[in-house]
């Protein structure tokens, strides 16, 4: 990590403070890196120094509900308007009018919502793993129609405080289960057979998906880095992160009327070729070219899975810096 990196707290709303890593020069060219689930700012550890070396200021928050950032109790406080106002407030604090917004997983969803709700603050948008997704109806309604009575984690997360308790029972086991389930290493053994909705925990579901229980991390994640995540989630719990999922339908109600029309800034998408989020969803990848006004490129990194910026940091950083150099 860059020697210029320092950690500070920024108040983004009344009673809400985010823990933020801030690095490099600025503020003329600023990048904001938004993590996903179950990640924190630590997931961007391979990107900060290369971006700073390229002359960029880099702002990396632990988003609300994560790490040592504030954890509001009200589920509605994790709706897209609150999450995006946090990012706008970080830019205000940094005295930056607009920034390159980069997101991974749920961070990508926040980045897309930033482009809809605060387009003037987005110099460009770079999404990793989760493409622009225009839901044709309320997301949970569609997911229930697709999955029926079979277990699906997003629907499981809608039940009040059930999944959080399952995860917190053994934080390390849960993190290993989801990391392995979406990593490239599980691609040959990934089990797509359905699970019954009743009696399955979220940890067991991800272990089923990855071919069994794992006791150590994949080769691209050190034991020390895994322990950083374990310690962070043992402190913070999972209530806030799972509340993000309980806002899929409210987010749809909020942003569906806007559609892609505000997203006129340059956009870029990058993912691992073995990412289960995009597997079988070529239509969603193609829609970015047709729906988005200035979609510059979609890059799939061969052999990488869902945790693309951690699994293949060299290839990811080259794609990221190439896009930034050509679009800013």
* CATH code of residue 287: 3.40.50.1820
Same-domain pairing of 12 and 129: yes
144 plus 122 within the same structural domain: no
| Residue-number span of the structural domain to which 172 is assigned | 139-244
* Torsion (CA) 37, 171, 211, 139 in degrees, nearest 10: -30
Strands (E) across the chain are located at: 6-13, 16-23, 30-34, 57-62, 99-104, 122-128, 267-272, 295-301
Does 1 map to a domain? no
Last residue of a domain, one of 195, 227, 244: 244
pLDDT tens series, the chain, 328 aa: 556 788 999 999 999 999 999 999 876 799 999 999 999 999 999 999 999 999 999 999 999 999 999 999 999 999 999 999 999 999 999 999 999 999 999 999 999 999 999 999 999 999 999 999 999 999 999 999 999 999 999 999 999 999 999 999 999 999 999 999 999 999 988 888 888 888 899 999 999 999 999 999 999 999 999 999 999 999 999 999 999 999 999 999 999 999 999 999 999 999 999 999 999 899 999 999 999 999 999 999 999 999 999 999 999 999 999 999 988 6
The model carries a pTM of 0.97
Same domain, 147 and 173: yes
Q: Residue 30 domain-assigned? A: yes
Same domain, 126 and 150: no
Evaluated on CA atoms 41, 42, 47, 50, the torsion sign reads positive
Is 187 catalytic? The answer is no
Asked whether the CA dihedral 126, 53, 273, 306 is positive or negative, the reply is negative
Same domain, 271 and 123: yes
| Residue at a domain's end among 244, 262, 284 | 244
Catalytic annotation present for 6: no
3-class SS string, 56-117: CEEEEEECCCCCCCCCCCCHHHHCHHHHHHHHHHHHHHCCCCCEEEEEECHHHHHHHHHHHH
Q: Tell me, yes or no, whether 281 and 234 share the same domain.
A: no
**Do 191 and 229 share a domain, yes or no?**
yes
Among residues 35, 252, 295, 306, which one is catalytic?
306
Structurally, the chain folds into a number of domains equal to: 2
Catalytic residue among 86, 105, 243, 275: 105
Residues 144 and 240 grouped into a single domain: yes
Q: Are residues 120 and 258 in the same domain?
A: yes
> Does one domain contain both 196 and 259?
no
Same domain, 132 and 14: yes
């Amino acid at each position: 990590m860059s020697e210029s990196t320092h950690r500070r707290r920024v108040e983004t709303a009344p009673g809400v403070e985010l823990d933020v890593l801030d690095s490099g020069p600025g503020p003329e060219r600023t990048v904001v890196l938004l993590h996903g689930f179950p990640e924190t700012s630590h997931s961007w550890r391979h990107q900060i120094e290369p971006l700073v070396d390229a002359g960029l200021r880099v702002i990396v928050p632990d988003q609300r509900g994560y790490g040592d950032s504030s954890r509001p109790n009200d589920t509605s406080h994790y709706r897209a308007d609150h999450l995006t106002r946090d990012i706008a407030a970080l830019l205000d604090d940094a005295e930056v009018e607009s920034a390159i917004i980069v997101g991974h997983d749920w961070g990508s969803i926040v980045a897309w919502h930033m482009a809809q709700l605060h387009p003037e603050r987005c110099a460009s948008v770079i999404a990793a793993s989760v493409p622009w997704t225009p839901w044709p109806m309320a997301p949970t309604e569609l997911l229930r129609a697709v999955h029926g009575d079979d277990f699906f984690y997003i629907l499981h997360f809608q039940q009040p405080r059930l999944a959080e308790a399952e995860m917190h029972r053994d934080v390390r086991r849960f993190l290993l289960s989801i990391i392995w389930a979406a990593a490239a290493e599980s691609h040959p053994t990934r089990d797509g057979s359905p699970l019954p909705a009743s009696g399955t925990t979220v940890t067991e579901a991800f272990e089923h998906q990855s071919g069994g229980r794992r006791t150590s991390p994949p080769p691209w994640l050190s034991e020390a880095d895994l322990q950083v995540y374990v310690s962070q989630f043992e402190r913070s719990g999972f209530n806030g992160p799972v509340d993000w999922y309980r806002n899929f339908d409210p987010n749809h109600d909020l942003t569906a009327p806007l559609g892609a029309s505000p997203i006129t800034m340059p956009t870029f998408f990058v993912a691992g070729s073995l990412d289960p989020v995009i597997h079988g969803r070529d239509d969603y990848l193609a829609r970015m070219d047709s729906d988005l006004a200035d979609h510059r490129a979609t890059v799939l990194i061969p052999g990488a899975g869902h945790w693309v910026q951690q699994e293949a940091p060299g290839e990811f950083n080259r794609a990221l810096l190439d896009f930034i150099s050509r679009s800013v």
